[in-house]
Each structure stands twice: as C-alpha cells, then as structure tokens.
Structure 1
Amino acid sequence: MPFTSLPLYFENTAGYVREHPAGYGVICYGAGKREAGSFVELGTRLGQLLVARRWTRFISDQRLLAPLSEAEKSWVTEYWIGQRVPRPAHLIEAILLASDVFTRLSLAQILNQSSSAIGSLTIQRFESEAAAHAWLLGQPQ
C-alpha cells in the first residue's frame, strides 16, 4: 500500500505523518528546502500520533530527505532521542534510507553520538517499503 494512500495525520513543508491500518505511524520527509521549524513540528506531530494511538512502531521514510541543519541535528539528539518531546518511551523504527549520501552520513553520525541514549530505540534500516513493513509487523506493539 503506497504511503500516500494512508490516512493523513499531519503535513507541512518538511513532509507528512500518516497512519497505517496495521498499527504504526509513517513519517515521510519531502525533498528540498524546509521552512524553519517544520522539521521539528513534523517530528513532534509523529510523537503525538504515537502517544494518541498507543503505538510504538513507525516507518521513517528518509529517501528524499535533504541533509539536516545543525539545529535539526541538535533537536533529534536532544529532544527526540533524548525523549524530551512527548512520545512513547521505547520506539521501534524502520528506516527507509536516504538517497543523499550526506544525509545518510549525518544521520549515522547522530546515532553514533547518541549511542548511550539510543537504548530507547530499536532501529532497522531498509531499502524497500515492503521489507520495512514486514519487519515492523514482526515487532511487538
């Protein structure tokens, strides 16, 4: 099922958050320039969806994501991984890898630098939506 056919929860210039009927969230990052604060708002809305539905699983579609700004990297580290934004305490994330090599490198750097706090996240990387979906379905809710 293409992500664009799923019920829309939130959308802005950074991308959108959708609800999958199998019981998980989908965050898709758009290509190109983002308005200031839109990346943070998108991540915050994902957290709100997961809390509201009592879900712990989500797909992070980073295939079109442009490299993160320093402020966005800091937010991911301090607020998302640091659990300072409302979200479930433990998350199961299937990542669809970014096409842009610099984006991949910056995201890998964030995960490496945050390794002590990363225990709150179970992460697996995928090349295809089907593989990410199948893996998520095998994870506990």
Structure 2
Amino acid sequence: MIEKLGRSAYPRIRALPTRWADNDIYGHINNAAYYGFFDTAVNCFLIEEAGLDIHAGAVIGLVVETGCNYFAPLAFPETVEAGVRVARLGNSSVSFEIGLFRQGEDDPAAQGRFVHVYVDRDTRRPVPLPDAMRVALAGIAG
C-alpha cells in the first residue's frame, strides 16, 4: 500500500467538475475517468505555468507510465479537487503525482502518477526539458 498524501503535499490544486457521464452503473465515478482528471490537472499546469504549447511547440510530452490507487469513491455531481506535484525531474522525463480530493477535504479519494517523456514533436526522440518548463516543474517538486 502506498502512503496517502494529504492536500498539503500538493503545491497546485485545481477544481474539476464531474460530469453525469463520469458515473458508472454502480453510482460512482468509473475508474477510467480518474485518468482524465489526472491528465487534465497535469496538462493545465503545463500549459498555464510551464509554457507547453500543445498546438505548435517543438517539444511534447508522451505518457509512458500511469497508475492509480483508489481509497474512497467519488460521484457526480461532486467537484473534484486535483493536487499536482512533481515526484522526479529527469533530463527528458517528469514523474507527476496527482491527488484527487472531495472539495475541501484533506484525505485523498485517489492518488495517481503519470510519467511523461518529452520528445521532439517531429522525430519523437527524447529531448531535454526546455529551461522554462524545468523551472516551473522544479517549483512544484515534492
């Protein structure tokens, strides 16, 4: 079992509304939807604070590993608060940790991880992280 990290472990928190379609037949958010929350929280940070240009930038991030631990169910119409932090900052890779919380709660409902490798958009070969991105990512390292 992984160590559960409280809200204070995450330097960035983003509110994400759930959608009716996120619920499954069992009345809670389906496990696949959690990955959409992770992806949205990480990419919002990258676009808004780290200078990632998803449409025309020379460097893009590819997901090479993901994982999630579930602790408590979430359900529509809750607002999920996603905490983001960097667990490891490499030369061309970044390991993100994401905590999903019920609005205002400190204990996570789920914790996930994403590993991105940054590559040249055209060649798809790994490249060093751009300096501005590295600075922004270092600012949320846990």
Identify the TM-score tier after normalising by the shorter chain: under 0.3
Name the structure with the higher helix share.
1
TM-score normalised to structure 1 length:
0.26
TM-score normalised to structure 2 length:
0.26
Name the structure with the higher strand share.
2
* CA radius of gyration, larger in: 2
Between 1 and 2, higher relative CO (CA 8 Å, sep ≥ 6) is seen in 2
